[in-house]
């Protein structure tokens, strides 16, 4: 019974709780719906108010934009009105100018007509005067014109020749004065000794018995020596001396060193000869390098290729017309440097080109071709400066010099070679050079006789006075000098003198 009561109580409690919670939930739901309706109503009111505000702001913005647009339109209209007024004014000005131009054009046309009429009258008067002048002078207009032109031409030619002569005299005087100063200064600063060398070397012997040991049994020693060195060993009656002969100075020097060492050592046989020749070659190689370095240091030329330094050393044993080429090259470098300093051009470039200008002579016995071409190829091979290469190529006028330094090297080369006693010149070559100079002068039309004097440094030309006048004599001197420059090779300069003389002889009886 109690169990039933408890069960019923629980069931009643559950039912009551269920309906109670339901009533509470329904009441809360109703409150929530009322709150939602209130929020929606407030949102609608706020949205409506915001809408009105936006509309109001839009109307105000539209009003401002409209006012600004109207203001801009008014300003543009005022600007257009101003431009229109200016355009109207310009049109009026152009109309007035057109009227003035038309008026002036009509006046000009009238003046042109008057001028044409006056010109016609003038032509008529000139024609009448010309006919009268022709009648009085007995010459036609063309003949008178030719005569006038000839007289004017002769006068102009005389005046031109006189002006040219004066200018040339002034320029020559000033140029000679300045050139003499520069050259004399360069020569004074570089007074190198002149040494004349030959193609033979003499080796002293302690006694004449040494000659037999040099010859050896059945001549085997002398044959070995000549084969190893490439020189001729001459043993004659000269007491206590033998002679080494060779066109190659390097070979001759190697042979001299080797023979001197053999004589000092005393042991002379084929094996010892080969050993001494090899030793002499090595010693000479070192000596050549040291000589080349000394020459470069003496003139202040640096950063030369080692092979070029060795070739410079070889020039010590090379001669040209009896002049030592290494000393000549050093002297040319000094002279070119001094003249470059006086002219304020590149001194180092002038010295470098002067030192290397005859570098081709170091190997011209071994390589075919002129020493200028060989020197250019060597300079290119060892990557010398283009200006230095140009100086080497132009120092004998094989090409036209294009820089002042190249001209200075050319001048320094001529100065060094033309020193008294610097080079030997055979009598035959000397006479041949003078004959060439006289024959060149005789080739000009109107020349009677020509004489080369002052050892070929001056040529005097006597012309025929009936064929050559004073004006033509001036031009002939210039033409002969230019021809000499083009066709002849000569040291220094050649003075050209043209002499025209007319003599009138009568006898009183």
**What pLDDT sits at residue 405?**
87
Relative orientation angle of helices 270-299 and 325-343, to the nearest 10 degrees: 10
pLDDT band at 138 (very low <50, low <70, confident <90, very high): low
Which of 483, 449, 484, 480 lies closest to 464, judged by CA?
449
Mean pLDDT of all residues in 58-68: 88
**Strand order across the beta sheet in which 447-453 lies:** 447-453, 458-463, 495-499
**What pLDDT sits at residue 434?**
84
pLDDT band at 252 (very low <50, low <70, confident <90, very high): confident
Label each residue of 71-102 as H, E or C.
Answer: HHHHHHHHHHHHHHHHHHHHHHHHHHHHHHHH
Query: Residue 213 to residues 187, 262, 267: CA-CA distances in angstroms?
Result: 51, 10, 9
Per-residue pLDDT tens digits for 449-480? 999 887 677 889 999 888 888 888 888 888 89
The answer on pLDDT for 179 being more than 80 is: no
The answer on pLDDT for 193 being more than 50 is: no
447-453 and 458-463 strand pairing: antiparallel
Per-residue pLDDT tens digits for 366-397? 777 788 888 888 888 888 888 988 888 888 87
The answer on pLDDT for 6 being more than 60 is: yes
DSSP 403: S
Per-residue pLDDT tens digits for 107-125? 888 888 888 888 888 888 8
69-73, 248-252, 496-500: least confidently modelled range: 248-252
Per-residue pLDDT tens digits for 406-417? 888 888 888 777
Question: Who wins on pLDDT, 57 or 427?
Answer: 57
Question: Who wins on pLDDT, 294 or 173?
Answer: 294
Q: What is the mean pLDDT of the chain?
A: 81
Q: Give the DSSP H or E segment for 351.
A: helix 347-356
Per-residue pLDDT tens digits for 76-104? 999 998 999 999 998 888 888 888 888 88
Mean pLDDT of all residues in 198-215: 76
**What pLDDT sits at residue 423?**
56
**How many CA within 13 A on the CB side of residue 399?**
13
Which of 397, 385, 325, 321 lies closest to 361, judged by CA?
325
Q: How far apart are CA 412 and CA 401, in angstroms?
A: 14
Q: How far apart are CA 448 and CA 468, in angstroms?
A: 10
The answer on pLDDT for 234 being more than 50 is: yes
The maximal CA–CA distance of the chain, rounded, in angstroms, is 213
Residues 457 and 492 sit within 8 Å (Cβ to Cβ): yes
pLDDT band at 492 (very low <50, low <70, confident <90, very high): low
Relative orientation angle of helices 347-356 and 386-394, to the nearest 10 degrees: 50
Per-residue pLDDT tens digits for 288-324? 888 888 888 888 888 888 888 888 888 887 877 667 8
Question: Who wins on pLDDT, 196 or 215?
Answer: 215
**What pLDDT sits at residue 460?**
92
pLDDT band at 180 (very low <50, low <70, confident <90, very high): low
Angle at 359 between CA 356 and CA 360, to 5 degrees: 140
The answer on pLDDT for 191 being more than 50 is: no
pLDDT band at 181 (very low <50, low <70, confident <90, very high): low
**Number of Cβ atoms within 10 Å of the Cβ of 95:** 10
Mean pLDDT of all residues in 249-256: 83
């Amino acid at each position: 019974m109690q169990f039933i009561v408890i069960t019923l109580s629980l069931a009643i409690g559950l039912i009551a709780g269920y309906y109670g919670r339901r009533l509470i939930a329904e009441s809360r739901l109703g409150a929530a719906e009322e709150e939602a309706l209130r929020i929606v109503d407030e949102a609608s009111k706020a949205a409506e108010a915001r809408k009105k505000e936006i509309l109001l702001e839009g109307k105000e913005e539209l009003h401002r934009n409209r006012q600004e647009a109207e203001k801009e339109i008014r300003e543009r209209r005022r600007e257009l009105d101003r431009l229109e007024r200016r355009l109207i004014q310009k049109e009026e000005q152009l109309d007035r100018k057109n009227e003035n131009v038309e008026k002036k054009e009509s006046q000009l046309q009238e003046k042109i007509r008057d001028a044409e009429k006056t010109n016609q009258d003038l032509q008529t008067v000139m024609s009448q005067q010309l006919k009268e002048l022709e009648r009085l002078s007995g010459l036609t207009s063309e003949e008178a014109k030719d005569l006038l032109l000839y007289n004017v031409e002769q006068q102009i030619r005389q005046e031109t020749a006189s002006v040219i002569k004066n200018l040339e005299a002034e320029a020559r005087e000033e140029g000679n004065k300045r050139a003499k100063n520069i050259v004399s200064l360069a020569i004074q600063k570089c007074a190198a000794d002149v040494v004349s060398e030959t193609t033979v070397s003499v080796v002293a012997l302690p006694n004449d018995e040494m000659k037999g040991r040099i010859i050896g049994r059945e001549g085997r020693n002398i044959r070995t020596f000549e084969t190893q060195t490439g020189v001729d060993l001459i043993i004659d009656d000269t007491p206590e001396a033998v002679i080494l002969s060779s066109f190659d100075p390097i070979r001759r020097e190697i042979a001299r060193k080797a023979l001197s060492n053999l004589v000092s050592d005393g042991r002379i046989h084929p094996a010892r000869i080969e050993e001494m020749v090899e030793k002499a070659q090595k010693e000479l190689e070192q000596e050549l390098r040291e000589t080349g370095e000394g020459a470069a240091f003496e003139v202040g030329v640096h950063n030369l290729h080692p092979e070029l330094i060795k070739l410079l050393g070889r020039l010590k044993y090379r001669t040209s017309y009896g002049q030592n080429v290494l000393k000549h090259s050093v002297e040319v470098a000094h002279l070119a440097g001094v003249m470059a300093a006086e002219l304020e051009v590149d001194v180092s470039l002038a010295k470098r080109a002067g030192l290397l200008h005859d570098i081709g002579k170091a190997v011209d016995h071994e390589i075919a071709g002129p020493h200028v071409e060989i020197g250019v190829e060597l300079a290119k091979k060892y990557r010398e400066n283009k200006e230095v290469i140009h100086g080497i190529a132009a120092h004998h006028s094989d090409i036209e010099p294009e820089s002042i330094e190249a001209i200075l090297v050319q001048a320094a080369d001529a100065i060094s070679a033309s020193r008294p006693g610097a080079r030997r010149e055979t009598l035959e070559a000397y006479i041949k050079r003078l004959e060439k100079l006289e024959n060149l002068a005789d080739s000009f039309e109107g020349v009677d006789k020509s004489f080369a004097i002052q050892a070929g440094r001056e040529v005097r030309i006597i012309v025929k006075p009936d064929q050559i006048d004073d004006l033509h004599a001036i031009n002939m001197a210039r033409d002969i000098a230019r021809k000499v420059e083009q066709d002849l090779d000569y040291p220094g300069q050649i003075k050209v003198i043209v002499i025209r003389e007319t003599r009138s002889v009568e006898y009183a009886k």
